[in-house]
Amino acid sequence: MDVPLLVVVDCPNEGPAAVLLRRALDDVGLSTVRFTTRIVSDQTEAEQFGSTGSPSVFIDGRDPFAQPGQRPALACRLYRDAAATSGVPPLAGLRQALKQAADRQP
């Protein structure tokens, strides 16, 4: 499973997102899966990676939190769920996306 965490330089949510991602992986039984942190340094890279803001988690090439019509951007990212708005993905949604990706693995 390929799980990069895409961030811009000096993203204040990089650390919290990394902690959250590790927790979500562990919670769904993927404690041996390692993730990488990739720096998105310009708009061209944001477009190349499909990053719509920092931090973005991709799971096997897919952003599980992508919104229709959202364009790649070299910017901070906000996540919204029923309870709140945050600079990191919601833990429950991240767990669900990781579990679904794991279930698709051969």
How far is Cα 17 from Cα 84, in angstroms, rounded to an integer? Answer: 16
Helix boundaries (H) for 37-80: 43-49
pLDDT at 6: 98
C-alpha to C-alpha distance for 1 and 33, rounded to whole angstroms: 7
Instruction: Spell out the per-residue pLDDT of the chain, length 106, in tens.
Output: 999 999 999 999 999 999 999 999 999 999 999 999 999 999 999 999 999 999 999 999 999 999 999 999 999 999 988 888 999 999 999 999 999 999 998 7
**Number of structural domains found in the chain:** 1
- Give the domain extent around 71: 4-104
DSSP-based three-state secondary structure for 105 = coil
> Residue 17: CB partners within 8 Å, gap ≥ 6?
5, 7, 55, 57, 87, 88, 89
User: How far apart are alpha carbons 68 and 48 in whole angstroms?
Assistant: 18
